[in-house]
């Protein structure tokens, strides 16, 4: 069961509600006319939600903010043959209060598969399903040693992202998103625990199956410039044949660089490319787990802030 993950933040100027996306909140155009000691910190308001690649920070934005997000997750490479899959999630995020945000969205799914054992050759892009993301900030990192946000995302899918098969799937993912500012305005760390579960009916066979996945994620990100944040992310994923983590079938470790970049005050981009560096599947003695996972997984997000 492929992990989907979803969201990224941008900034507005001081006269609008806004979130910084690797940039400070507040105009700096008159900085030269002010005493140095009165200058704002150029990294003071970095929003951590999407500076960690697949991992997420605890920030959810300010009350009243509206954000449109386009998230694209790509998976590439199996043991043999040609394999590429894309899961696209498009969301409108609305921050209801200091602690709560809601984000409905719809998904597109695409695959290009040829000569992969166990999978039917397939090439298509189609409507994938819908989801509703809910986030609640339990601990605010601005007033506590760390931040903690709880995430829940129920969803419905009509296409299997990995194979392109027509399905009816009902599931949800849950996560605890921790982050901490290690060096003021410069170095940030995140740790996430993710759990996803679902029931799937294959249209062709009318058979039901249940699966689940657990992930532990960690990331470090460093602000090189106010608009540019680079880092490294690591994920450990465990796949199960059963909806309650009850029949372990394989695991994998992914690692790779992350980035976030502010194009303008209203537009931001972030992402990561991660490679499977370790893994195994039950019943397969070969290195890496290319049964439940892929050689490479990549993420690219585009955010528009209104």
Q: What is the CATH number of the domain that holds 132?
A: 2.40.160.40
| Greatest Cα pair distance in the chain | 72
In 3D space, the residue among 115, 124, 109 whose CA is nearest the CA of residue 79 turns out to be 115
Residue 144 lies in a domain: yes
For residue 258, the enclosing domain spans 31-305
Cα separation, 43 vs 22, whole angstroms: 7
Number of domains composing the chain: 1
pTM, 2 dp: 0.84
Residue 15 lies in a domain: no
Residue 18 lies in a domain: no
Residue 26 lies in a domain: no
> Phi then psi for 36, rounded to 5 degrees?
-60, -35
Residue 13 lies in a domain: no
For residues 16-25, one letter each, b for 16 or more C-beta atoms within 10 angstroms of the residue's C-beta and e for the rest, the string is eebbbbbbbb
Residue 202 lies in a domain: yes
Residue 134 lies in a domain: yes
Residue 278 lies in a domain: yes
In 3D space, the residue among 189, 248, 57 whose CA is nearest the CA of residue 135 turns out to be 57
In 3D space, the residue among 184, 249, 229 whose CA is nearest the CA of residue 55 turns out to be 229
Cα separation, 301 vs 259, whole angstroms: 10
Q: What does the pLDDT profile of the chain (306 residues) look like in tens digits? A: 444 433 433 333 333 333 433 333 333 333 333 443 443 333 347 899 999 999 999 999 999 999 999 999 999 999 999 999 999 999 999 999 999 999 999 999 999 999 999 999 999 999 999 999 999 999 999 999 999 999 999 999 999 999 999 999 999 999 999 999 999 999 999 999 999 999 999 999 999 999 999 999 999 999 999 899 999 999 999 999 999 999 999 999 999 999 999 899 899 999 999 999 999 999 999 999 999 999 999 999 999 988
């Amino acid at each position: 069961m492929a992990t989907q993950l979803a969201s990224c933040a941008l900034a507005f100027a001081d006269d609008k509600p806004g979130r910084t996306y690797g940039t400070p909140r507040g105009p700096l155009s008159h900085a030269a006319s002010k005493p140095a000691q009165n200058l704002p910190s150029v990294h003071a308001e970095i929003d951590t939600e999407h500076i960690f690649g697949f991992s997420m920070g605890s920030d959810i934005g300010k009350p009243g903010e509206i954000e449109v997000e386009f998230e694209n997750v790509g998976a590439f490479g199996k043991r043999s043959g040609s394999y590429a899959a894309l899961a696209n999630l498009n969301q409108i995020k609305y921050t209801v209060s200091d602690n709560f945000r809601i984000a409905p969205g719809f998904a597109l799914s695409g695959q290009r598969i040829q000569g992969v054992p166990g999978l039917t050759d397939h090439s298509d892009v189609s409507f994938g399903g819908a989801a509703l993301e809910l986030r609640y900030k339990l601990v605010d990192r601005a007033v506590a040693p760390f931040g903690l946000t709880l995430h829940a995302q129920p969803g419905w899918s009509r296409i299997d992202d990995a194979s392109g098969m027509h399905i009816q799937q009902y599931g949800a993912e849950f996560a605890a998103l921790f982050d901490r500012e290690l060096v003021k305005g410069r170095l940030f760390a995140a740790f996430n625990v993710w759990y996803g579960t679902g029931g799937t009916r294959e249209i062709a066979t009318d058979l039901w199956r249940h699966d689940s996945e657990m992930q532990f994620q960690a990331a470090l990100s460093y602000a090189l410039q106010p608009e540019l944040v680079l880092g490294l992310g690591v994920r450990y994923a465990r796949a199960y044949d059963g909806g309650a983590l009850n029949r372990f079938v394989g695991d994998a470790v992914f690692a790779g660089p992350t980035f976030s970049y502010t194009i303008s005050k209203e537009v931001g981009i972030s992402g990561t490319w991660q490679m499977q560096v370790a893994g195994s599947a039950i019943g397969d003695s070969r290195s890496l787990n290319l049964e439940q996972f892929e050689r490479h997984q990549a993420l690219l997000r585009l955010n528009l802030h209104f």
